[in-house]
Chains A and B, each alone.
Chain A
């Protein structure tokens, strides 16, 4: 497709259940980001991939959160033993950017997100 695709759009999980959220970035985009957006708040950074390498995972809130991008394209965010505080919209974004230079600062394209509700 032309844009960033996330699935599922909605997920209801029972507390303690494991979930997996999928992101298909724009083809050829090197950088991929996951963000968490709680209700009524701005997105907060979770983790960043450059191709298949996870270069920053400082935003993951606990060791129950795990992300991978094994072939440098599709990414999966996994949450183990979900808790109610995990309820949020999980956003994926991709960009062409590959470096730390201002000149390579290109636009990030966002998917529509996965709304996770833990009951």
Chain B
């Protein structure tokens, strides 16, 4: 079955540092890929997505590129802020007979220190 593997956290960075959170996936078909973010005390929010190979999703300074050859969707940000502290989830959807059912990775906690 489908699965998503992302780097374990916590990831602790200083403000303005460069961020990479690795994500790789296995899927039987051709999935869409997502990054969701969960801020403290809030629900999951879609951060960005990509629906086909070589697409780049971007939002709030974060970006991730759909790499089919390496089955990866790594999240990057050039300069993190304290307000980016949250848990980040990589996910995929194959959208076959199950609406947009999502398969999630285990989550990576990011802590940004001033």
In the assembled complex, the Cα of A108 lies from the Cα of B45 at a distance in Å of: 9
Which of B12-20, B64-72, B73-81, B98-106 lies at the interface with chain A?
B98-106
Q: How many A-B residue pairs have CB under 8 A?
A: 76
The answer to whether B44 has its CB under 8 Å from any CB of chain A is: yes
Return the chain A residue nearest B102 by Cβ: A108
User: Which residues of A are at the interface with B, using a C-beta cutoff of 8 A?
Assistant: 3-4, 31, 33, 35, 40-45, 48, 50, 55-56, 91, 93, 95, 97-98, 100-102, 104-108, 110-113
Return the chain A residue nearest B41 by Cβ: A112
Return the chain A residue nearest B93 by Cβ: A105
User: Which residues of B are at the interface with A, using a C-beta cutoff of 8 A?
Assistant: 4, 32, 36, 41-46, 49, 51, 89, 91, 93, 95-107
In the assembled complex, the Cα of A4 lies from the Cα of B89 at a distance in Å of: 19
Assess the A102–B43 pair: CB atoms within 8 A. no
